[in-house]
Each structure stands twice: as structure tokens, then as C-alpha cells.
A and B are shown apart, each in its own frame.
Chain A
Amino acid sequence: MIPVVEAASKMSLKCRLFSEFARQQLFRSSPACGLHISATYYAESKAVAEDEEFRTLELGGRKIQRRAQRIQREMPTLPPRYKRQATDQDWGNVWPAPRSFHPATVPLAVRQGYPAKGQAPPDKWGNAELMKIPNFLHLTPPVIERQCEALKKFCTPWPAGLENTEKQEKHFPVTMTKSSYLHSSPSIRDPKSRIVTLKVHLRSLDLDTHARDKLLRLVGDRYDPATDCLTLVADRCPLSQQNRDYCHYLLTVLYNEALKTEPWEHEKEVTDNERYVWQGSPSEAALKVIAAAKGEPVPEADVEKYRDAVAELHNEGEDETTLAKYREAVMKIAGIA
């Protein structure tokens, strides 16, 4: 009994209670009942009745006869599994797949939880917190290595000539992304798997300024200036193949439309411009007036500086640097700095 005794002493009270309950639930044997006290009581009362002429009147409530406790058979249990584990065992065979934490199988003396006053954090036995969190005991580095080795035979080598990102972008500028979903359910279908995303850098597309401007106006939000990436998402068709074709179509149409110049595009006004252009603006006219008032022409460098400062103010927005630049340029022109 020695190993069982040692194990029992190590387990916390909580676990023992749980296990008692589990044992009772699972190993309920035929009850080795004690006496049925009620039977004797009846016999007694019957005997009394026969002796006397009149039956005794019992006004009090009948005492609840307590049945003797069911004698639970002691089910012998094995010691916990970690005691049989060698220190150099193959852990991948013990924990091959994702599994909730089990204290008897994991040989580590881990503790988790907020410690009660003056005590250590709760140990692993019956620790709900350890059981709730995901554990990665099935993915120790040696196991990962072994699994990668086993999967290598399904992998083909990376194509030559696509070593770095530039080359990849050069040869394969368009990226199509699609997700498939796996459920723990009999059906393999999921409506989200029809969604297809197309990503392309605008630098891979052959666009002049007008085409670029037009394309950006057409796509709007789908362009990310930080990464220079155009993203098209298609989910309007029920099948991913159809959405993929739709993405191709969309990119083709956008590109071709961007290159075209419609006859009505000449009606673009100054307010429609995407960027502020100083040439021909009221600011230039004002400068000319000032120069005329001054009498002498303003030096070219100053004019350029002023032009850049005003353009920056409008295009980049007002902040410390742009305002400072503007101030300097104006003071230069005014001849004060």
C-alpha cells in the first residue's frame, strides 16, 4: 500500500474530496446495508399491540428512521502517473496532443494563483486556473523538430530567384489571400471562406501622375499611403473562385480607367486639385504685387523658398516646422531677416 499512501498524503484536501465524490459516482457498488431499524420498530409495536387490549395512541410525529450509511467499498487506485516517469523520458509520447492540464501526468511542481495570506500560491492539484488556460505542453521544441522532420516530405524547396522581398515583389507583385475554416462539426462549409483579398503595391503598376491621381480617387479608402498598398476585398460571390476572378477584373478595370482621360476631366477646377500648386495661385499674385510695390524684383532663391513654404503649409498642414519655415521665408522677402 506504500506508494498509494505516499500519494494520498501529497494530494490536497480539495482533490481528495473531489476524488471521493468521483469514486462514489463511478464505483457505486451494491450497498452493504446495515439494519433496517424501521422493521424492528414495527415488530416491536406489533408485539406491544398484541399484549395489551388497546392499541397505544401515538400522537407524536414518527421518528425518521435513519438508514445505516451505505458502506462504500474502497476502490484501490493507482499512484499518479508522474511517479512512473523517468527524467529522460520522451515527453512527446506522454502528451502528444493539446490537452487540458492534468496534475497527475505533468511532473512539474507548478503553482498558479493569488496566494492566500502567508501561504504559497496554490499548487497544481485541483487548480482550476491551470486547467482553464491554454497550455503548450504538446509543443516542446524537440517535438516540434520531430514533427517538422516528418512533414518535410510534403514540402517542396523554395523557388530559386525569389530569395528576398524585392525579387518576390518584382516577379509576383500581386498577393491573393484566402482563408479556409475548420470546425469541430460535421460540416466543412463556412461562408467566410469565400472572402478573397488582393494586395498590390502601386509602384508595381505603371502609372503616370494623372493615372495615379485618378486611381487613388477611384479606390479611395482601399489605398494605404503608409505602405503604398492597394487592397481589394471581394466577398460578393458565393464561391472564392468567383471572388478571385472578380478581384482580377476589378484591378484590370481600375488600371485601364486610370490610364484613360475622359473628355470631362478638363473641367477639373483648382479646388479639385489633390495638391496645392503655388504657380498661378493668389499667393503668387500677391507676391507679384508686393514685388511691384517694393520696386525691385525679389531674388529667385527667396521666391523659391517662399513657394516651398506656402506649398508645404497647404499640403502638409500647419505645425511648428511649417510655420517657422513660412515665417523665415516671409521675413526674407520682406527683407527683415
Chain B
Amino acid sequence: MAGAIPRCSVRHLQRLFGSCSISAPVRSVRTSSGNRAEEIVIPNRIPRSSTDILEALASTVGRDSSGPHYKYSDDPYLTPASNVAKRSFSLSKESGRKAARWIRDKHSDLFTHRPEDPFIEAFYPKISFTDESDVSEDTLRELMQKCMVSDAIQVYQICKTKGVELSDSVRQELLEFLGYYNCEDALDEDWVEERWYRQGIMSRDRIRNTWKDHGLAEELFKSLSHQGSPAYCALIRGMTRYYQVDRAWQMYQETLEKGIPLDTETYNSLIRVASLMREGSDLRWKLVKEILTAMSEAGVRPNLGTLNSTLESLSQIASWRQTKNLSLQVMAEFNRLGIQASLASYYFLLIIHCRERGPISHILIDIMNHIADKEFSIQDPKDTFFFVTAMDVCRNHLHSKELAKRVDDLLHTGNNYMLIGDSYKESIYYRHYFALSCSTDTVDQFMELYNELVPHIYTPEPGVMEELLKALKVHEALEYLPQLWSDMIVFDHTSREKLLMSVLSAMTCHQPSEDNTKLTEQLATIAWDLWTRVQRMEEDRRNKITWSGPMIGDLLTTLVRCGEYSKGVEVMQKISADPHIVLGSATVDSLQTLLDAAIGNDEANTGVMVVVYAVDAGHQEAADMAKKLGSSLTLNAEHRAKLTSVLGIDIIADLKEKEISES
């Protein structure tokens, strides 16, 4: 017989274990010691999703402009700096991913090892459907969930041939799905770089009717047992999305006749394409008003989409004199309804009010006052156009750096940077910001901005670079020229003739003195580097640079003035020997500078060469130059012979006579 278990042991153990149970919602433990009812209250665990901690830590990290974007390697040799390099690096990396996916899908029989737990579907080959596959409604639903259009169509065809019963609800879903995608696969969401570099729809003349008439979507529509409101809505929305406006309008009339109610989004889509259905601003606006009235009569509540599509139609008729007032009225009315405007609405307002040929409108200031310091998320596809357009307005319409700074601050609050859109919009945004800063700020302030943004956030295009160089020349801030030159090398701008011309002409403004010897040296190095680079270019290159007369002239002037006389002589020798490499000939001023330097260094050979070249070039001052040379330096017979052969015997004889007469 087992010994008696003390009575207190059970309670004792309960006390021990009760304290470590975690099943109760609020854990509290009462100790069994006497009168003190000490209750330990353990607060509940704060619920968090599996990535909340990571997101919290990520929110502590910001962007550092000294280094490249995280998708590039952070190494001086591997970081791309020019726009071409950045684009090709990111797209080639993505092309590798695409190749990997293609291999995986092509050789799906090789990828059968599945060690993961839980199973990760994205790692495994896509299931391809053949006529023998076992498909059902659920397969179709799953494919729609994953946005796989061509696979869904294939499965639908298989279902039809096999005679699998598809309910009306799945048909309706499929109709909506195909209407949205127009029976074509959209670019996979995984290809982020391709999406980033895809040219945005900045130009508005890409509107063509691409709807597949009598395609699968319409077939589905007809196959529905009862074409009710959801079916008509889906079809109208699909048609308007792909600009099949005539038939969409037809469908709309059908719904009016049959008395079928439509939902908000359908009305919005009709308003959006109203401009394509009428000619003439007042008729277009009349149509929009018609649709809006129909909407209110049907008792359908408008939403943000209604506001944005109304403003979009107005932006299509922006040249009408009433549009500005109407747009403000529309904004006010929707505000009264309690609908918050999104960035797309502000974008349309900017288009309407800040037109190229029209009075200056300060609406952007009011908009910025309204939305400063707010965080936005994407609510409308056209939200991404706001920042580019705002910066454009700041630069071209208002010429206001303060406003541009406010727009930039708004862009950098919270997660708003995600609304910049794609790489095209980002580059245009920064281009405007840069150019504005270049024209309004002092050179030092501008160079601060330059150092912040270039090269990792924005690489200037050649056009912008040209403006920069012009600005530097105008403000005589040549101490930044070496930095710009090294940046130009890295951005691969050294094969552009205009830029080289700007650099050379900027350098001629430099006056060497005692306190800027370093800069003088640097400029001389730049000039020589420029020369060697152009000379090194292969003959059969597509855009080989040919020297022009002014360019060579500026080059010579810079080299001589900044103390590289011997290099200047080398250049001179080259152009004397092969005058065909220069289009035109070196300018007279540069030749005279070189001549003076030759005289100063007591080099008659060089002097003669310069004079000979000047004569060949047909400069009128050649004779004077010869005279100067003759009077300053002693010329031996060879030199005199050369001079005689090009000028005629007079000059030297004249000098001799003068000497004799003077003495």
C-alpha cells in the first residue's frame, strides 16, 4: 500500500504549476500564504504579426545619400553611376531572375525536392494545364486569385470542352477578371525593375482602343443566364478601361432602357472617358453633368473615384474658359459631401490651372498649405503624377524655390516617397528641382544640393549638365569645375560634343593668380585629359567627336594660360601636322596667346609653326603675328625661309629694312 500523500501536496503542486500556465487570458496568481491576498497581474502579450518587429526596426533606418541604392553593390568599382549603367545593372539582375524562373518552369520535372515547411508556393514551377488536367471551379477561382490571366482562360476552355459545370457566380467573377485585364497577362508583380523602368503614361496621346471586340469577355457576358447589374457593370468598366467608348456607351443606353442599376465605379469609368465621346468642350461638360445627374437620380453615392474622374474629364477640356471655375466648384461640392481629395485630384487641378499659355496661378501654394506634412497612401493610379507635375509647376510656372522645397519635404515625409511612381517620373522630378535650384540659388547652395543628390539619388542628364556648366561659367564659380569634370567622366558624358564645348569655354574664363594655383593646375589637368580622351576615341565610333575651331582655341588658351606650355605646343604640333582633325581652325586669340608664350619661352620653332598655321587658316592677323615674332626673336635661315614661303618675302625684308633704317 502506498504511503499517504500529504493533503497539502496537491494544493502545493497546483500552486507551483498554476503559476506557469499560459492558457488563461489574464494571468494572476494568488499565493496561499495567509491573509495577504497578493495578486500578481501579468499583462497580456501585445499581439503582433510575423513581420511587425522587422517593420519596426526598418522604420529606424533612413536613406543615406553617400551610398548607392540597396539593390546595387556597395563598392566603388561595382556601383553604377551613369544612368545607362544603373538601368542595365538593375535590368540585367532582373533578367537573371527571369531566366531562372524560365528554367524552373521549363524543367519542372527536376524541381521535386520540397524540404520546406511550411510549403512555399512561389518557389515551385507553375502548374500548366492541359486537356487532361482535372480542373474545376475552384481551380478557376484560385487562378483568378493569383491574377494568372492566360492560365485562367485556358482552364475555362478546358472546362468548356470537358463540360464542367460553372456556376453563375464564378462566371461573373471571371467576367470581371477578364474585363479588368482585357484577356491579356499583365506584367508580373515580381518584375519590379521592369515596372520601375517602364515608361509611364506621361504622354496622353497613347489612347487607343485596345478592347478585344467579340472576345472572351463578351462571350462570357452572353453566356450568363441572366445579365444583371453586376454583369453590365463589369463589361462597361472593362470597355471604358480599354477605350472602347462607343460600345460602352451603347451598353450604358441598354442599361437605361432595361432599367438596370449601375454602381459607382461604372459611372466613374463613364465619366472618365466622356471627353472621347463628344467633340467640343461645352458638349463634353454637358455629357459629364448628364452622367452625374443620372448617378444622383439612381441614388448611387459618389466616391473619390467620381471626384477624380470628373476632374480628369475637366483636364481634357482645360482650354475652355469655364474649366477653372468648374474645377473649383467640383472640389468644393465633393468636399461638402465629405470626400477627401487625393493627390490625383490635386494633380488634375494643377493641370487645369497652371497651363503653359495662360495666367499664372498660385493654386499650388494653397494645395501645399492644405497637404503639408500629411502622409499619403496610394488611392488612385494617377496619384503618382502629382509630385512630378508639382515640381514642374514650381520650376516653369512659378519659378519658386521655397515652394519646391516644400514639395520636396512633403515627398520625404513618411512613406510618401513611394508615390514618386517610376524611374522616368523620378528623373524628371529631380531634373526640374535641379534646374530650378541652378537658376535661383547661389552656386554654393546649389552645389550643396548637387552633392546631396548626385550620383546615387539622381544622375543628371546631358542637358541638365549643360545648364550647370553654363551657370558655373556665368557665376564664375570655376572651383567646382574639377568635381563636375570627374562626375562627367563617371556618367559617361565625355563623348558629347556640346558638353565638351561648354567645359572648354568655361575654362577660358579662369584668370590664373597666386591664390588659385591649385585650381589652375586642376584646370590644366582637365584640359589635357579632355584632349587625350578625344584623341583616344576610335576612328569608327558612332559619335566620334570632331574638334571645332572654337574648341581647339579654348583648349590652347587654357593650356597656355594655366602653365602647361609644353602640352599646348604638343597640341599645336598635332593640329599643324593633321589640320583635318579640326573642323575650321583655331581662333586667332588662342594662336596669339600661344605665340606670346612661345616668344616668352624663346622658342622660335613653335612661333614659326603658329604663324604658318595662322596663315594657312587664313587669319588676317597672321602678318602682324609674323612681324611680332620677327621683331621679338632672332630667326635663323630655316625659319625665315618657312615664313617667306607662306607669307611672301616682304615681311622679313621689311623688318630688316626697318632695322637698318633705325640703326
Binds B, one of A53-61, A216-224, A258-266: A258-266
- A280 at the binding interface (Cβ < 8 Å): no
A206 touches B117 (CB 8 A): no
- A258's nearest neighbour on chain B, judged by CB, is B9
With A and B bound together, what is the CA distance between A149 and B62 in angstroms? 16
Binds B, one of A126-134, A153-161, A327-335: A153-161
Shortest C-beta distance, B271 to chain A (Å), equals 43
Q: Tell me the residues in window 111-127 of chain B with beta carbons closer than 8 Å to chain A beta carbons.
A: 115-118, 120, 123
B17 touches A174 (CB 8 A): yes
Residues of A within 8 A of B9 (CB): 206, 255-256, 259
With A and B bound together, what is the CA distance between A173 and B67 in angstroms? 53
25 sample A-B contacts, Cβ–Cβ < 8 Å, listed by A number = A1-B485, A1-B489, A1-B526, A2-B486, A2-B522, A3-B483, A4-B489, A7-B76, A19-B77, A78-B81, A79-B76, A90-B62, A147-B57, A147-B60, A150-B56, A150-B57, A150-B60, A156-B46, A161-B38, A171-B40, A186-B120, A206-B6, A251-B16, A255-B9, A262-B2
Interface of B, helix, strand, loop or mixed by DSSP: loop
With A and B bound together, what is the CA distance between A22 and B56 in angstroms? 38
A159 touches B41 (CB 8 A): yes
A171 touches B118 (CB 8 A): no
Q: Tell me the residues in window 1-41 of chain A with beta carbons closer than 8 Å to chain B beta carbons.
A: 1-4, 7, 19, 22-23, 26, 32
Other than the given A255-B9, A256-B9, A260-B4, 15 more pairs (CB < 8 A) read A26-B77, A32-B538, A94-B67, A96-B61, A149-B60, A151-B53, A155-B46, A156-B44, A159-B41, A171-B31, A186-B115, A200-B16, A206-B6, A206-B8, A263-B1
Residues of B within 8 A of A184 (CB): none
Known interface pairs A170-B31, A188-B118; A78-B67 also in contact (CB < 8 Å): no
Of A1, A7, A154, A186, which one neighbours B53 at CB under 8 angstroms? Answer: A154
With A and B bound together, what is the CA distance between A4 and B483 in angstroms? 10
- B3 at the binding interface (Cβ < 8 Å): yes
Which of B's residues lie within 8 Å of A, judged by CB? 1-6, 8-9, 12-13, 16-17, 19-20, 29, 31, 38, 40-46, 48, 52-53, 56-57, 59-67, 74-79, 81, 115-118, 120, 123, 451, 455, 482-483, 485-486, 489-490, 492, 522, 525-526, 529, 538
A255 touches B13 (CB 8 A): yes
B61 touches A1 (CB 8 A): no
With A and B bound together, what is the CA distance between A261 and B5 in angstroms? 9
B117 touches A172 (CB 8 A): no
Shortest C-beta distance, A126 to chain B (Å), equals 12
Of A93, A161, A252, A256, which one neighbours B40 at CB under 8 angstroms? Answer: A161
- A192 at the binding interface (Cβ < 8 Å): no
With A and B bound together, what is the CA distance between A1 and B57 in angstroms? 40
Shortest C-beta distance, B46 to chain A (Å), equals 5
Which of A's residues lie within 8 Å of B, judged by CB? 1-4, 7, 19, 22-23, 26, 32, 75-81, 84-85, 89-90, 92-94, 96, 102, 104-105, 143, 146-147, 149-151, 153-157, 159-162, 170-174, 176, 185-189, 200, 204-206, 248, 251-252, 255-256, 259-263
A102 touches B5 (CB 8 A): no
B66 touches A171 (CB 8 A): no
- In this complex, the member of B17, B75, B485, B538 whose beta carbon has the largest number of chain A beta carbons within 10 angstroms is B75
Shortest C-beta distance, B505 to chain A (Å), equals 20
| Nearest 6 interchain pairs by C-beta | A260-B3, A186-B116, A93-B64, A156-B43, A84-B66, A261-B3
With A and B bound together, what is the CA distance between A159 and B40 in angstroms? 7
Residues of B within 8 A of A205 (CB): 12, 16
- B15's nearest neighbour on chain A, judged by CB, is A173
A81 touches B123 (CB 8 A): no
With A and B bound together, what is the CA distance between A147 and B61 in angstroms? 9
Of A79, A143, A154, A188, which one neighbours B56 at CB under 8 angstroms? Answer: A154
Of B5, B46, B52, B81, which one neighbours A256 at CB under 8 angstroms? Answer: B5
Residues of B within 8 A of A80 (CB): 76
Residues of B within 8 A of A146 (CB): 60
